[in-house]
Structure 1
């Protein structure tokens, strides 16, 4: 008598109806929202302090006798509120990504599962590193440049909500830019490109990095280079780690344990 065949995670996943997948996804999304709100509840008391910290790179360059302003009635409350809400999401990102990882993990191959956790941790750290790079390196350059070219007779008094939107955009841009090594590894893992193809595209990537640096930073060579060089170096790091990645096989005859 033949013994029953043991089902793998991938087989069990394939047997699950669509409704079950949707229910699991809803459960994980609810967990994300709950954790996000809990972190926000802890940060809300410090919302004004958070805004003081986030606005420091601009305030240090403001001329004497000027300050930031609120042009809308509710801005003094809503702007720190929005900052605390988004900061809570950034802080909860490890949990958010872990929930998405847990949702897709059953559909991955064994060697992909071994890579997933290092990639997950690395992507979080690189995103935070990109934000730190923007705050400590890019912001002083950007605001120093903008305030230095102010026409005579014009007082620099930035609206607090406009400033928050500006810095959040830069945080997101630099955070995503620092994900380049993860993107290259995933491209090789999925078989979309090979390591040799990445090497051959190096010249185009270097040009692209400087173009992105020109778009995201003030029109001066120093700040453009400070963004382009890390992006290029991160691309090279991605190529190095991609050499140790086994591309996904063309046929699905491999199962996970």
Structure 2
């Protein structure tokens, strides 16, 4: 295709994504209350474990309530339509890939999607404890005012960090398939990788409590072990396919 054809295709796909996002945003406005309960739930659970009157949710300015509606429904529409716009991105790139690259990209989508979902669910489960720890740092007599728009950013950032953290083993396997990292190298540096995972979990989680950090780091370590096993298996498979693999230097090859 000529460059102009690629640009026209890109424009068509962008317009489709924008149209679907706008329609979904309008539809999500009618489901604001369930969405609000879902997002506000972790804060309510955290507030129930704290002394009465120690925290209060607020909005700022005359348009705070309207921005709450738009941001919350916009986040929901972006999340709901993610399969559609991710497919549009993939479909735009797909014609430029080789057959084996297409196969690995499909496998990546099949594996990465449920891992990301598991990470998001785990982040949602641990969020109340993280909020409880953060709010509890306020001295007695100080009321913690949680501005809801900032809380929504905190909420989305936490879920996104957990979701992306669970994608790290997928990228490790992709690096191994590309020949950049070997399974033996992963085994040699396993201890340092585990330390790095815990440091990453401590820095990435918005809260500072060890509970949330451990809930992120332990599954990541397990996923890393699985990715190391897959990398070692793939290295052995590659070695078995090489011509003359397993022959001594003095033994002639079939060629």
TM-score range relative to shorter protein:
0.7 to 0.9
Cα 1:158–1:184 shift into 2, 3 Å: same
Match of 1:239 among 213, 221, 228: 228
TM-score by length of 1: 0.80
In the TM superposition, what whole-angstrom CA distance separates every residue of 1:121-175 from its partner, at most 9, and x where no partner exists? 32222222211111112x1221121233321101123111111111111122111
| Contact 1:47–1:81 under 8 Å retained in 2 | no
Corresponding residue for 2:31? Answer: 46
Aligned length: 231
Match of 2:14 among 26, 29, 35: 29
Say whether 1:103 aligns with 2:92.
Answer: yes
Cα 1:147–1:53 shift into 2, 3 Å: same
Match of 1:182 among 166, 170, 174: 170
1:244 Cα deviation after fit:
4.5
Alpha-carbon distance between aligned partners in 2 of 1:27 and 1:57, rounded to the nearest angstrom: 39
Alpha-carbon distance between aligned partners in 2 of 1:39 and 1:58, rounded to the nearest angstrom: 26
Q: Which runs of 5+ in 2 are unaligned?
A: 239-255
CA RMSD of aligned residues (A): 2.3
Alpha-carbon distance between aligned partners in 2 of 1:118 and 1:140, rounded to the nearest angstrom: 34
TM-score by length of 2: 0.80
Corresponding residue for 1:230? Answer: 219
In the TM superposition, what whole-angstrom CA distance separates every residue of 1:185-215 from its partner, at most 9, and x where no partner exists? 3222333333333333322321111112212
Corresponding residue for 2:252? Answer: none
Corresponding residue for 1:128? Answer: 117
Q: How does 1:1-257 map to 2 (within 5 A)?
A: 16-62=1-47, 63-65=51-53, 67-137=56-126, 139-215=127-203, 216-242=205-231, 243-244=233-234
Cα 1:39–1:236 shift into 2, 3 Å: farther
Q: Which runs of 5+ in 1 are unaligned?
A: 1-15, 248-257
Does the residue aligned with 1:60 lie in a helix, a strand or coil? helix
Alpha-carbon distance between aligned partners in 2 of 1:38 and 1:121, rounded to the nearest angstrom: 27
1:74 Cα deviation after fit:
1.0
In the TM superposition, what whole-angstrom CA distance separates every residue of 1:80-128 from its partner, at most 9, and x where no partner exists? 3112112211121112221222122222222232232231132222222
Does the residue aligned with 2:140 lie in a helix, a strand or coil? coil
Alpha-carbon distance between aligned partners in 2 of 1:99 and 1:76, rounded to the nearest angstrom: 33
